[in-house]
């Protein structure tokens, strides 16, 4: 979570908000997530994030997940990424993305943590 916060602050201070162009690093602060654009009040976003976090936490403490430590680690990493992006939503109304690799959508460390954590959890269940 600390690495995500620090890298987002560095990106905000050093990268121009281009939304286009080349390079591996570019700042994108709008256009995602859809929920933040459509929510009329920040409390709606907070309630949605809390509901998702509670559902995932409930899954994390189930007996089948506690038996496999990799599943718990994967869920924890994914939740940490979601919490980082949730903090951005509440503070800025949008998520700060800055890593642009080829045709892949621009992302940040929290997005990577969500994908990697969910992947580790899913593969550990197989």
pLDDT digits (tens, 9 = 90+) for 83-125: 888 788 777 777 888 888 878 888 899 999 989 988 998 888 7
State the residue for tokens 């949008």: 94
Per-residue pLDDT at 41 exceeds 70: no
What's the pLDDT score for residue 36?
46
Short-list 95, 86, 104, CA closest to 30 = 95
**How many structural domains is the chain composed of?**
1
- What pTM does this model have? 0.72
User: Which amino acids are annotated catalytic?
Assistant: 97, 111
More confident position, 47 or 68 = 68
Residue 17: which domain range? 2-125
State the residue for tokens 């509670």: 54
């Amino acid at each position: 979570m600390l690495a995500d916060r620090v890298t987002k602050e560095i990106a905000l201070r050093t990268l121009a908000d281009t939304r286009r162009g080349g390079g591996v690093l570019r700042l994108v602060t709008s256009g995602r997530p859809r929920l933040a654009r459509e929510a009329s009040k920040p409390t709606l976003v907070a309630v949605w994030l809390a509901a998702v976090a509670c559902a995932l936490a409930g899954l994390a403490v189930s007996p089948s997940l506690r038996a496999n430590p990799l599943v718990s680690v994967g869920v924890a990493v994914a939740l940490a990424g979601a919490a980082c992006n949730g903090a951005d939503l509440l503070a800025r109304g949008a998520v700060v993305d800055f890593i642009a690799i080829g045709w892949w959508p621009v992302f940040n460390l929290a997005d990577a943590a969500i994908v990697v954590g969910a992947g580790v959890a899913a593969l550990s269940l197989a």
